[in-house]
Chains A and B, each alone.
Chain A
Amino acid sequence: MKSITKAIMLALAGAVFAAPVAAQIKVGELNSYKNFPAFLEPYKKGWELALEEANAAGGVLGQKIEVVSRDDGGNPGDAVRVAEELLTREKVSLLMGTFPSHVGLAVSNLANQRKVLFVAAEPLTDKIVWDNGNKYTFRLRASTYMQTAMLIDGAVKSGKKRWAIVYPNYEYGQAATAAFKKLLAARVPGVEFVVEQAPPLGKIEAGAVADAIAQAKPDAIFSSLFGPDLAKFVREGNTRGLFKGMTVLNLLAGEPEYLDPLKDETPEGWIVTGYPWAEIQTAEHKAFLAAYQKKYNDYPRLGSIVGYATVQTVVAALKKAGSTDTEKLVAAMKGLEHMTPFGKITYRAIDHQSTMGAYVGKLALKDGKGVMVDWTFADGKDYLPPDSEVMKLRPKE
């Protein structure tokens, strides 16, 4: 009897003392979920999976990680407020996320002001690490410049000299176009850019654009269209025979988010950056794929990789810093190395850009669906300008 009472007492005491949840590390996450659900729903699944794995493995620094996630409203003004909410009310130790470039920049700007680490997951703009780079911001994804550079080999190999360019009329498209022209002109003497079309994002008049390109008689096209603009352009171009005998390069078009909607319309032979998820045979990707499919009964998109790797970065940084102190975290982020489903990445100390790569290959049709073939993995570290140039681009700290 006595022992039973004692046992109960012990159990109760245990319950009472265990009740305050083990201390948690809070990470603030914000993204434009409602504005870009096609990319960001898989992204969310990605980071949730990584979080679950990290916590199942005991968390970091003896604590579990809690991600406090918010919709940032898709515009800088609201995003800054949401970030402030995460910082002041939720008292998160660091921030991660964001999708569109202007939102990413605004949050990065806030992070700099509030002196808090910000891991920018997706924004592609070169400025976030270069022109507007700051001490507290690090970016995961391969930038516009890097992904454009990855396509240059294909452009050079094609031997084509008369190029048409089509891009969505905002910073990403403009930056991709500028980088492409600069890099290609450096490698192909006598290259000509015969026509440039810059339709407004999401509002391409695809038929007119296709005809205007044909009118300039190019023998190759460089496109940075994506989403609905890409789908419209592909369909109109197909119907009008624009792509016959034409070399076409298209940033991002191999990403499942943008490739899958094309279905049987997928233009064969286009050289693209993307993510051939079904075919990647590395151990780290296979493990990721299996876990993802098991948890969600769905295949991953590129967003899933970005979300997954972002949390991996956060975990690795916390481990390396051994603390949630911002200055220690920032120090840890410089040169941080960790594995991702895309292999090992490094956050460069020089410009806070990760070396995460992308897959470059050709589009093909298989069973009425678009796939990437003849792909290779382009490691991000090989597609960045020389350090001397990068130093010039980035403001002094």
Chain B
Amino acid sequence: MTLADITIQLLNGLAGASSLFLVAAGLSLIFGVTRIVNFAHGSLFMLGVYIAYSLTDQFGRGSPLAFWSCVLAAGVAVGVIGFVVEILLLRRIYQAPELFQLLATFGLVLVIKDVVLKLWGPEDLLGPRAPGLRGAVQVMGKSFPEYDLVLIAVGPIMLGLIWLVLNRTRWGVLVRAATQDRDMVGALGVNQAWLFTGVFALGSFLAGLGGALQVPREPAQLFLDITVISDAFVVVVVGGLGSIPGAFLAALLIGVIKAFCIGIGDVQAFGTTFSFSKFTLVVEFVVMAIVLVIRPWGLLGKPAGEPRHTAATEAPLKPLPGWLVLGFAGLGAALLVLPVFTQSYLLILLIDVFVFALFAASLHFLMGPAGMVSFGHAAYLGIGAYAAALMVLRAGIPMEATLALGPLAAALGALLFGWFVVRLSGVYLAMLTLAFAQIVWSIAFQWDGFTGGSNGLIGIWPPAWAAEKEAFYHLSLVLCAAGLLALRHIIFAPFGAILRAGRDSPLRADAIGIDLRRHQWFAFTLVGAFAGLAGVLHVFSKGSISPETLGIARSVDGLVMVLLGGVQTLTGPVVGAGVFIFLQDEIARRVEFWRAILGLVIIVLVLAFPQGIVGFLRGRFMRAAA
């Protein structure tokens, strides 16, 4: 690369960083104050792009003033949408257990996507160029878009404006105070509800504005939400939660690194070619993993204090009452004999339910008793599945052996990643699990010759004795039930009890001789094995495996199942998995806009059962018994 090339790529990186910064700043503000992990933030960005497309296409072609007014109006419109969402939905569930709001925002993602599809149609919509900024300027003999130069300036300007709002207005001071300590603001007599609403609206506005600014650069399209949300999370976490300058720095860093990876291209070394261009597939996650390993609170973040308890602590665990034990035994027996009565699709659907119940329960073990939220749990599902598939296809190892070796492989993966993960806590921990999962995903995705690349591997079927649906159903039922019982048992055993204790008070655990990190590390590994077992069953039930099994969407499915059932219950994940899979299956078959309906159902469930479905049932039962 010549100096001119380097300069140009630097400028490209900076231009790409601006709108990412705006989105991330909004996300960071919202998280800082309300502690909501807003999955719908990417959807707000997408709305910003679509609304700005429509506005500029209609009114923004003439003059620069018209164009920029349209951009601003789109941001404001998204801010208003955020305002409404906060009041109608989020405000009602702040008291729910931690992360539960995430489920509501997941529902929103589904709804917004289908609404956008309905309103704007399926085709990509390329907006007009910005009036007055259509061309390019010469930078060291190369053409560079005028609009991108403006974008480069927008980043620091918005950073300055946000800084002014946060530091020079009373409202901003309250926002900062709330980011430091939410309870204190309540004590100051500030109307907390309106503070939250305001912050959510401002965050939404920033997301919408970030989207609107992209209109001259990229078409409005339906994948923008997921593309942007993971990038925005990465930026927020790399920068340090709640730190706006951190987000700015991180956005620049990632933007510039990406541009340079592209600029460097292929590099020959040690007899092989390394493609930095292909590396852009995961570079942001690699950066995040490195930053978090070195600086567990991001670049400009501050170490979090003791976790605050916003929700009621969970009630002490009790063994199930006798009648419920009988009930579950009866259910298990009924499931065992079910194939006598039906040969139908129900068995196939139930296999999925069993597998994902085990997967969700293993995630729940981490999130609940062990107090470690994972955003990348699918990694272990996928490692188990890929390990089994590869053993069958490449080494001719029989399925029976992979049922032990697959989980072992997943456990080894978890052992490796867990060592880093347990050094962190809270959202940082969750994001590091995500980074590792994405790295594993990218390896499976890239390593064509071994893992089958993006197509994955096919032809992985059970041996003759388990090939019939009925036999495989029984195999899955027995193994998943055994896995669930084992997980449940461990939660009550000294090992699990110590984990729960450490989650409640790491300080006290340390003061009574417990090496909490070692426990958590071991728990992470153990849970990896259970997820791996689910993965092995998954691959043999489908006959194939592709990188999606390791992907973010699968990890999110797991989270949704756990939260839907209720994170503070042990049967919750099982019920959550069952409900989620049946809902998806039924709704997807019946209605065209199934995604929106599924999202709405989730939102309704969230509002009706803020403790999760099982949490709600238990609450009802306990009240009835009292």
Contact = CB atoms under 8 A, between A and B. Distances in A.
Interface string A62-98: 0000000011010111101110110011000000000
A54 to B, nearest CB: 23
Contacts of A78: 584
Interface stretch (A206-214, A306-314, A371-379): A206-214
- Determine which residue in A89, A195, A198 has the highest number of CB atoms from chain B within 10 A of its CB, and name it: A198
A240 B145 contact: yes
A162 B360 CA distance: 52
A118 to B, nearest CB: 13
A208 B259 contact: yes
B217 A169 contact: no
B144 interface: yes
B8 A105 contact: no
Nearest to A74: B548
A202 interface: yes
Interface residues of B, number: 76
Interface string B270-301: 00000101101100000000000000000000
Contacts of B469: 88
A199 B8 contact: no
Interface string B524-546: 00000000000000100011111
A261 B145 contact: no
Interface stretch (A147-155, A230-238, A272-280, A343-351): A230-238
Nearest to B551: A75
Nearest to B545: A76
Contacts of B538: 77
Given A211-B142, A239-B136, A80 B263 contact: no
A227 B143 contact: no
B352 A81 contact: yes
B283 to A, nearest CB: 10
A106 B16 contact: no
Given A200-B281, A209-B262, A228-B218, A38 B122 contact: yes
Contacts of A70: 588-589
A241 B40 CA distance: 37
A177 B136 CA distance: 31
Interface in A160-203: 169-171, 174, 195-200, 202-203
A41 interface: yes
Interface centre among B13, B125, B544 (most CB of A within 10 A): B544
Interface stretch (B69-77, B244-252, B449-457, B567-575): B449-457
Interface string B121-138: 011111001000011100
Contacts of B445: 170
Contacts of B136: 239-241
Interface residues of A, number: 70
A320 interface: no
**Most B CB within 10 A of own CB, among A112, A205, A214, A231:** A205
Given A228-B124, A236-B145, A239-B135, A81 B348 contact: yes
A58 interface: no
B546 A196 contact: no
A388 interface: no
A173 B145 CA distance: 28
A212 B546 contact: no
A297 interface: no
A105 B543 contact: no
Contact of A34 (B262, B343, B594): B594
B588 A71 contact: yes
A225 B343 CA distance: 45
Interface in A105-144: 105-106, 108-110, 112-113, 125, 127, 132
Contact of B277 (A33, A84, A198): A198
B465 to A, nearest CB: 15
Contacts of A71: 588, 594
A261 B12 CA distance: 24
A76 B459 CA distance: 13
B265 A127 contact: no
A75 B546 contact: yes
Given A89-B345, A171-B454, A240 B142 contact: yes
B377 interface: no
Contact of A109 (B125, B129, B543): B543
B595 interface: yes
A37 interface: yes
Contacts of B349: 81, 85
Interface class of chain A by DSSP: helix
Interface in A254-273: 257-258, 260-263, 265
Contacts of A241: 136, 143
B145 to A, nearest CB: 5
Contacts of B609: none
Contact of A127 (B343, B345, B455, B549): B455
A102 B588 CA distance: 20
Contacts of B218: 206, 228, 231-232, 235
Contacts of B163: none
In this complex, the member of A82, A199, A207, A209 whose beta carbon has the largest number of chain B beta carbons within 10 angstroms is A207
A196 B265 contact: yes
Contact of B548 (A77, A108, A127, A231): A77
Contact of B455 (A85, A105, A198, A228): A105
Interface in A16-35: 33-34
A5 interface: no
B194 interface: no
Interface string A324-365: 000000000000000000000000000000000000000000
A240 B136 CA distance: 7
Interface string B240-260: 000000000000000000110
B456 A76 contact: yes
Nearest to B135: A239
Contact of A88 (B13, B221, B345): B345
22 contacts: A76-B548, A80-B544, A81-B348, A81-B349, A81-B352, A85-B348, A85-B585, A102-B548, A110-B542, A110-B543, A169-B281, A171-B448, A174-B453, A195-B266, A196-B265, A202-B227, A209-B262, A231-B124, A231-B126, A235-B217, A236-B217, A258-B124
Given A76-B544, A89-B345, 19 more contacts: A37-B222, A38-B122, A38-B124, A77-B548, A101-B454, A106-B542, A109-B459, A196-B277, A197-B277, A198-B277, A206-B217, A207-B145, A208-B262, A211-B8, A214-B142, A215-B5, A228-B219, A232-B218, A265-B126
Closest 4 pairs (CB-CB, A-B): A37-B122, A170-B454, A109-B458, A208-B262
Interface of B: 1-2, 5, 8-9, 12-13, 15-16, 114, 117, 122-126, 129, 134-136, 142-145, 148, 217-219, 221-223, 227, 258-259, 262-263, 265-266, 275, 277-278, 280-281, 343-345, 348-349, 352, 445-446, 448, 453-456, 458-459, 461, 469, 538, 542-546, 548-549, 553, 584-585, 588-589, 592, 594-595
